[in-house]
Amino acid sequence: MPTPDRNTVPTGLIRRAVPGDTGEILAMVRELAEYERLADQAVATPEQFSAALFGPSPAVYAFVVDDDPETGSLAGFAIYFLNFSTWLGVHGLYLEDLFVRPEFRGRGFGKALLATMAKVCVDEGYGRFEWWVLDWNDDALKVYASIGAVPMDEWTVQRVSGQALIDLAALANPT
């Protein structure tokens, strides 16, 4: 997928994730899960992340905030994948997670990550850039409002997982 590899921001560097970032990205995913009060649900392994992001046919992509390119210290990340709009007839970009470590907040890294992904959308001709946000995350909601994001309050998220997913799959015709 041809996209910008680097986007300089005032106090760091936004770049595509590389295999050596996997451990630190996963550590930040766990920090995010803790912040979102869902730490018990963050069970992904380094091997799963490595395969998803850097395997032979990745369908998930990541940008990181490299606070100190000399040491490779990461201040944040964004993980995204493509979706598709049947109404628009083109792909969109779905932001799965965006996280900036608390000590690095307020320096514009979150907006820089969002801007970098927006540029991917525009450059690739994608029709939308979407994500979910917890309704109690006021700081994130303020940032999103400041960049022109529009809440989709008329929609509700639906999920099937665990035993319900297994039960639903059992209803399918054998292939």
User: What local confidence, expressed as pLDDT, does residue 145 receive?
Assistant: 95
pLDDT average, residue stretch 97-126: 95
With respect to residue 53, please indicate whether it lies within any of the assigned structural domains: yes
User: Rounded to 10 degrees, what is the CA torsion of 53, 3, 115, 108?
Assistant: 70
User: What local confidence, expressed as pLDDT, does residue 7 receive?
Assistant: 52
Q: Do 33 and 2 form a contact (C-beta atoms < 8 A)?
A: no
With respect to residue 94, please indicate whether it lies within any of the assigned structural domains: yes
Residue 144 clears pLDDT 70, i.e. is over it:
yes
Q: How many domains does the chain fold into?
A: 1
With respect to residue 163, please indicate whether it lies within any of the assigned structural domains: yes
Domain with 102 in it: what CATH number? 3.40.630.30
Q: Which domain holds residue 132?
A: 6-170
Residue 6 clears pLDDT 60, i.e. is over it:
no
User: What local confidence, expressed as pLDDT, does residue 60 receive?
Assistant: 97
Residue 40 clears pLDDT 60, i.e. is over it:
yes
With respect to residue 12, please indicate whether it lies within any of the assigned structural domains: yes
What is the rounded radius of gyration, in angstroms, for the C-alpha atoms of the chain? 17
User: What local confidence, expressed as pLDDT, does residue 1 receive?
Assistant: 45
> Residue 147: CB partners within 8 Å, gap ≥ 6?
111, 114, 115
Q: Which amino acid is at 130?
A: E
| 94 is known as an active-site residue | no
With respect to residue 175, please indicate whether it lies within any of the assigned structural domains: no
Residue 8 clears pLDDT 60, i.e. is over it:
no
